[in-house]
Amino acid sequence: MAAFTVSELESMIVVNMGDYKTARGEKKLMTKDLGSCIGVALRDPHTGVGGLLHVMLPHHSTTKGEHFIAAKYADTGLDEMISTLVQQGAKRDHLVAKIAGGAHMIRCEQVPESTDISSRNVNAVKEKLAELQIPLLASDVGEYFPRTVVFEPGSGTFRILTPGKAERRI
């Protein structure tokens, strides 16, 4: 995995599991250890406003007594992050997306890859983006390895870091 300089690390905003963060311009957003989870980067290329969402589950379903966190889910997390991006100056109809993650971290004969949580997460994110009419410019999903991603809202660069592999940019 690529090494970061001290100044680069100091400038990064860390996005935890089931959360999102937004930034503008040269700021960098990072989320680590995407296994079956999905990192969704949205940006308005005209304003340089963007956000990174760490989706854990495909859809929210109400459970009594559950503490609801919208960002954990593809459906509610994207809605919430888009609302925040628009409040920060992004134009809704200018948003574009890139995604990474959705790795098949556990192989199990009883659960086919097409129906495991990683595939359901990928499908939910893609379906929600299509519903919202947000173009998906690039993706790096599936396979059998975790990913760390760094998103630069100003340039749109989406770096994908994986142990033992060369850094990718999409």
Element (H, E) at 120: helix 117-131
- Those residues with Cβ within 8 angstroms of residue 14's Cβ, 6 or more apart along the chain or in another chain: 21, 30, 31, 32
Catalytic residue (one of 15, 23, 37, 122): 37
d(CA 118, CA 113): 8
Q: Judge contact between 99 and 149, C-beta under 8 A.
A: no
Bridge partners, 44 (sequence order): 49
Is residue 37 part of the annotated active site? The answer reads yes
Residue 94 CB burial class (10 angstroms; 0-12, 13-18, ≥19): middle
Q: What Rg do the C-alpha atoms of the chain give, in angstroms?
A: 15
Catalytic residues: 37
